[in-house]
Amino acid sequence: MKIGIIGSGMIGTTLAQRLAKAGHEVKIANSRGPETIELTTLSTGARAVHVSDVAADVEVLITSVPLSRVPDVAPLVRETPAETVIIDTSNYYPVRDGAISELDDGQVESLWVAERLGRPIAKAWNAITAQSFADKAAAAGAADRIAIPVAGDDDKAKKTAMALVEDTGFDAFDAGALADSWRQQPGTPAYCTDLTTTELPDALAAADADRSPRRRDLVFAALTERFGPEDEVSGDWLVRLNRAVY
């Protein structure tokens, strides 16, 4: 497929590498220009482009920017033809994304994103840490392959997102409607805990809407207490912390 990726950070980079390796025609852009995109991001065939070109002539557009930047990329998304599938990877952390005063704890972040983008979206790749996403891909059928929940209301968008999740090396699990995607938000048992397809349904069902914002904030507080902004946090440490608190 022809795929555009907005955001060349930790998630966008792995997406570009894996999707290009799987045979897709991938363009990727950030806000600073194609020359600032790392060569390793392009090592499997993705092309760095200017952000104004990333959404042109693609079948799928993936937004992978901080939630507070979603309104900035919305005009690009809105200009794509209606048949372009839009997939978003966002998560909401009140501290990091504090600028979004209109998004409350009780709100479903992907509904907020869909409203801002003015399009149906599929939510995918949000519930895996950047480290596990980069390091723990496995072939289809491999024992203990990690599952990634995919939520959405539009059949075509969800099916496309699920096929692409499989192409990135993870089992795709249909997590239902966008309105239910709070079950895969930070603070829930399915969020960044590296579960398999067998384990994921119970984790999604066990999500507690009242407690998850507090659990999310506890994990964030533990991280900022334990690590400075320049410290590298091991992915396994993060998954263990998430499993303990969520």
Ligand X SMILES: NC(=O)c1ccc[n+]([C@@H]2O[C@H](COP(=O)([O-])OP(=O)(O)OC[C@H]3O[C@@H](n4cnc5c(N)ncnc54)[C@H](OP(=O)(O)O)[C@@H]3O)[C@@H](O)[C@H]2O)c1
Q: Min. distance of Cβ 70 from ligand X in angstroms?
A: 8
Q: Min. distance of Cβ 32 from ligand X in angstroms?
A: 4
What is the enclosing helix (H) or strand (E) of 60? strand 60-63
Q: Of 21 and 69, which has the nearer Cβ to ligand X?
A: 69
Q: Min. distance of Cβ 115 from ligand X in angstroms?
A: 16
Q: Of 157 and 238, which has the nearer Cβ to ligand X?
A: 238
Q: Min. distance of Cβ 98 from ligand X in angstroms?
A: 13
The strand pair at 2-6 and 25-29 is best described as parallel
Express the helix, strand and coil content of the chain in percent, nearest 5 each.
40, 15, 45
Cα distance between residue 8 and residue 107, in whole Å:
27
H/E/C letters for each residue in 180-222? HHHHHCCCCCCCCCCCECCCHHHHHHCCCCCCHHHHHHHHHHH
Phi, psi angle pair for 128, to nearest 5°: -135, 140
Cα distance between residue 74 and residue 118, in whole Å:
8
Q: Of 35 and 210, which has the nearer Cβ to ligand X?
A: 35
**Using CB under 6 A as the criterion, which residues of the chain lie in contact with ligand X when the complex forms?**
6-12, 29-32, 51, 64-67, 69, 72-73, 89-91, 126, 129-130
Cα distance between residue 105 and residue 187, in whole Å:
11
Give the residue at shortest CB distance from ligand X: 9
Q: Of 90 and 160, which has the nearer Cβ to ligand X?
A: 90
Q: Of 10 and 218, which has the nearer Cβ to ligand X?
A: 10
Q: Min. distance of Cβ 29 from ligand X in angstroms?
A: 6
